[in-house]
Chain A
Amino acid sequence: MEAGPRTGALSLNTQTEKRTGAGTGQTTLVARGLKKSYADFEAVKGVDFEVHRGECFGFLGPNGAGKTTTMKMIYAAAVPTSGELEVAGLDVRSAEREVKRRIGVVPQENNLDEDLKVKENLLVYGRYFDLPRKLVRQRAEELLEFVQLSDKAGAKVEQLSGGMKRRLLIARALINDPDLVVLDEPTTGLDPQARHLVWDKLRQLTGEGKTLILTTHYMDEAAQLCDRLCIMENGRIIAEDAPRALISEHVSPEVLEFRAAPEALEKLPSIVEDVADDVDRIGEALLVYTSDSEAVTRKVRESGVEVRNTLHRQASLEDVFLKLTGRRLVD
C-alpha cells in the first residue's frame, strides 16, 4: 500500500522532466484512471487529465457531473478509490500535507471563519501553513488590496455581501502563495457585477502565472476564463480541448434559433436539410447549426413557414454540451 504510490510519483517525475525538455509546458497536475465511489454510487468513473503550469483549466458540466468530487480529490478532502492523482509530482494520498501546502482552495460553499474578522481570517489561515507571522501580515494586506476589501479589514464576515465573501475566499486561498489554485464554482450565486469582478481577479491571477483549476456550470465563464477545459457528465470526461477548438470540433460556427408553433417547427428540418449541418429541437425552439446562415434564412423565408422569432448567433460551449449529451447545461 505504502510503496505503490511512491514508485508512481518517481516515474511521474521523470515524465515531467521529459515533457519540460520537449518544451510543451510543465505539467503540474496529472490524473489517470481516477475514480471515486461512495457506498451507493460512483461519483467519478475514471477520468484522465493533465494541467499545465500557468494555465487555467476548467471543468464544465451540470450539477452532479462529478466536478466537485474531482476537486475534492485534488485537495485531499476526498480519497480516490482508484487511479493516480499527482500534484507537482507528489501523490495526493501519500504526500497529503505537502500537496495541500502547495495549493489554494476556494470551496463551493463559504466556510470563512465567522468568529474572526475579515483580516483575521487571513492571518489565522496563514498560520495553518506555518508561515512566518510577518510574512502573513504583509500578504494579508496585499491580498485585501488585491480583492478590494482593504476598507473591510476590520469588518465582521457576516457583514460582507456574497460577492465580497467570495473575494475573501479567493484572498484566503492565496495566503500561502500557492502554485495551484482550485476553485469550485467560483461565481455560482453571485450577481452579474460581482461575477465580473471575480473574473477580473482570476484573469489577473493567470496573468501572474498561477495555475488555476475551476469548475463551473456556466459556459460563458468557461469560455471567458479557461485556456483549456473538459466537459464532464455523469462522472466522465466526454470532451477536452481549448474552448474555441471544442466548438469548431463539435458544432458548426453559426446557430440559428427558430421559435415557432410546434407544427411549423416540425416542417423546418426538411426545409433546411441541404444547408444545415445539424438540427436540434429544444422545447419551443429549433436550433440549426450551419456555416451558411444566410442560405438557411433564405430557405426558411422562401418556404413560407411562419416563424415567430429568429435568433442568429455564434456557436457556444452550450451547443457543444447539447451536441454531446442531448441536454442543456443549466435547466
Chain B
Amino acid sequence: MGGVRLPSPRGAFRVWQRNATIFRKYWKTILLPNLFEPLLYLVALGLGLGAFIREGGINGLTYTQYIAPGLLASNAMFAASFESTFNTFIRLKIGRIYDAIVSTPVNAEDVVAGEYLWAGTRAALYGTAFLGVLTALGLVSEAPLISSPWALLIPPVLLVVGIMFSVMGTLFTSLISSIDFYAYYFTLVVTPLFLFSGIFFPIEDFPSPVPEIAWFTPLYHAVNVCRALATGPSLGVLVDIAWILVFTAALSLLPIRFMRKRLIS
C-alpha cells in the first residue's frame, strides 16, 4: 500500500491509445481554433504592437520574430493544461471512464501516465501545425519567423513541455472536487505564466528579483528553448531543458499518488 506505484508503459499506452482513437474522429474540427488562438496573438501584438517597437526590435529580432517562438511554447501549455484539467476531470468524475479502465489490467497509475503522454502528444501536434503556419508565414514576409533548422527539434520539445504542464494540471485535478475550481488554476497559474515568461518582453531586463522569480517558473524555460531553437541555439538551452526535465520528473509521481487515492478506495 505504501509508496508510489510506477506505471506500466503498456498500460499507459492503452490509455493514450484510447484518447488517440477518439481524437482521430474529431481532430479536423478542433485543430482550427487551436491554430487561430496563437495566430490572433501573433497578428494583434506582432503587427499591432510591433509597429510601435522601434528599429532594431528586441535582441535584433523584429517584434513578430520575437514573440512567435514564445507563442509556440504557450500554445503547448494551453493544449496540455486544458487536456489535464477540464478533459481529465470529465473523464474522472462525469464519464467515469477511469473507473471502467482500472477494473481491467490497466491500473490507476497507468491511467495518469497515459494522460501525461496524451496531453504531451496533443501539445506537440498543435505545436507542429502552428510551427508549419509560422514557417509558411515567414516565406511570404520579408523576415522569416523561423530562421534555424534547429526548429525541427521544436515538436519533441513541445511534447516534453506538454507533459510538464499535464503533470501540473493533473496535480490540480487530483485535488479538486468541483470543475469550478479551474477558474483559480487558469487565473492564478496559467495566465500569469503566459504573461510573465518572456513571450512578449524580455523578463531578464527587469530589476531583481523579477528575473530570479521567472527562473523558477516552468513556461519561462519552455519559451527560452523554443526561441533558441527557432533562431539558432546556444549551449545555455541545455540548462533550460534540464530544468524542465528535473521539474517534470520531480512532480510527476505526486498526481499519480493522489489520483490513485481517488480511483481506488
Which of A124, A172, A176 counts the most B-chain CB atoms under 10 A from its CB?
A124
Residue A78, interface by CB 8 Å: yes
Q: When chains A and B are docked, how far (Å) is the Cα of A1 from the Cα of B2? A: 10
Which A143-174 residues sit within 8 Å CB-CB of chain B? 172
Q: Are A105 and B105 in contact (CB under 8 A)?
A: no
* Residues of A with C-beta under 8 A to B170: none
* Residues of A with C-beta under 8 A to B107: 96-97
Q: Are B265 and A77 in contact (CB under 8 A)?
A: yes
Which B88-140 residues sit within 8 Å CB-CB of chain A? 95-97, 99-107
Q: In the complex, how many angstroms separate the beta carbon of B74 from the nearest chain A beta carbon?
A: 27
Which of B8, B22, B105, B107 counts the most A-chain CB atoms under 10 A from its CB?
B105
Residue A258, interface by CB 8 Å: no
Interface residues on A, range: 20 to 34
Task: Tell whether A125 pairs with B100 under 8 Å between CB atoms, given A77-B265, A114-B95.
Answer: yes
Q: Are B104 and A111 in contact (CB under 8 A)?
A: no
Q: When chains A and B are docked, how far (Å) is the Cα of A70 from the Cα of B101? A: 19
Q: Are B101 and A78 in contact (CB under 8 A)?
A: no
Give the number of residues in B that approach A within 8 Å (Cβ atoms).
25
Q: Which of A54-62, A127-135, A297-305 is found at the contact surface with chain B?
A: A127-135
Overall SS of chain A's interface = loop
Q: Which of B10, B97, B104 contacts A100 (CB 8 A)?
A: B104
* Residues of B with C-beta under 8 A to A93: 1
Q: Are B1 and A79 in contact (CB under 8 A)?
A: yes
Task: Tell whether A115 pairs with B22 under 8 Å between CB atoms, given A79-B264, A79-B265.
Answer: yes
Q: Are A124 and B18 in contact (CB under 8 A)?
A: yes
Q: When chains A and B are docked, how far (Å) is the Cα of A38 from the Cα of B264? A: 12
Residue A120, interface by CB 8 Å: yes
* Residues of B with C-beta under 8 A to A124: 17-18, 21
Which B1-49 residues sit within 8 Å CB-CB of chain A? 1-2, 8, 10-11, 14, 17-18, 21-22
Q: Are B21 and A120 in contact (CB under 8 A)?
A: yes
Q: Are A107 and B99 in contact (CB under 8 A)?
A: yes
* Residues of B with C-beta under 8 A to A113: 18, 95, 97, 100
Q: In the complex, how many angstroms separate the beta carbon of B251 from the nearest chain A beta carbon?
A: 25
* Residues of B with C-beta under 8 A to A256: none
Residue A88, interface by CB 8 Å: no
Q: Are A109 and B96 in contact (CB under 8 A)?
A: yes
Q: When chains A and B are docked, how far (Å) is the Cα of A120 from the Cα of B20? A: 13
Q: Are A111 and B96 in contact (CB under 8 A)?
A: yes
Closest to B263 in A: A77
* Residues of B with C-beta under 8 A to A76: 102-103, 264
Which B174-230 residues sit within 8 Å CB-CB of chain A? none
Q: When chains A and B are docked, how far (Å) is the Cα of A201 from the Cα of B99? A: 24
Task: Tell whether A128 pairs with B1 under 8 Å between CB atoms, given A78-B264, A115-B22.
Answer: no
Q: When chains A and B are docked, how far (Å) is the Cα of A100 from the Cα of B110? A: 14
Q: Are B18 and A100 in contact (CB under 8 A)?
A: no
Q: When chains A and B are docked, how far (Å) is the Cα of A120 from the Cα of B14? A: 14
Q: Which of B10, B18, B96, B103 contacts A105 (CB 8 A)?
A: B103
Task: Tell whether A111 pairs with B105 under 8 Å between CB atoms, given A78-B264, A120-B21, A130-B10.
Answer: no
Q: In the complex, how many angstroms separate the beta carbon of B92 from the nearest chain A beta carbon?
A: 11
* Residues of A with C-beta under 8 A to B100: 107, 111-113, 125, 172
Which A52-103 residues sit within 8 Å CB-CB of chain B? 72, 75-79, 93, 96-98, 100-101
Q: When chains A and B are docked, how far (Å) is the Cα of A105 from the Cα of B105? A: 12
Q: Which of A77, A128, A172 contacts B105 (CB 8 A)?
A: A128
* Residues of B with C-beta under 8 A to A100: 103-105
Q: When chains A and B are docked, how far (Å) is the Cα of A1 from the Cα of B105? A: 22
Q: When chains A and B are docked, how far (Å) is the Cα of A111 from the Cα of B104? A: 13
Task: Tell whether A116 pairs with B22 under 8 Å between CB atoms, given A38-B265, A105-B103.
Answer: yes
Q: When chains A and B are docked, how far (Å) is the Cα of A124 from the Cα of B97? A: 12
Which B64-96 residues sit within 8 Å CB-CB of chain A? 95-96
Q: When chains A and B are docked, how far (Å) is the Cα of A98 from the Cα of B107? A: 11
Closest to B8 in A: A97
Cβ contacts A to B, 6 pairs, < 8 Å: A97-B105, A100-B103, A109-B96, A116-B21, A124-B17, A127-B14
List of 6 A-B pairs having minimum Cβ-Cβ separation, nearest first:
A128-B104, A111-B96, A105-B103, A111-B100, A97-B105, A78-B265
Which residues in B have some Cβ–Cβ distance to A below 8 Å?
Answer: 1-2, 8, 10-11, 14, 17-18, 21-22, 95-97, 99-107, 263-265
Given A77-B102, A127-B14, 11 more contacts at CB 8 Å?
A76-B103, A76-B264, A107-B103, A109-B96, A111-B95, A120-B21, A124-B18, A124-B21, A125-B100, A129-B105, A176-B104
Which residues in A have some Cβ–Cβ distance to B below 8 Å?
Answer: 1, 38, 72, 75-79, 93, 96-98, 100-101, 105, 107, 109-116, 120, 124-125, 127-130, 172, 176
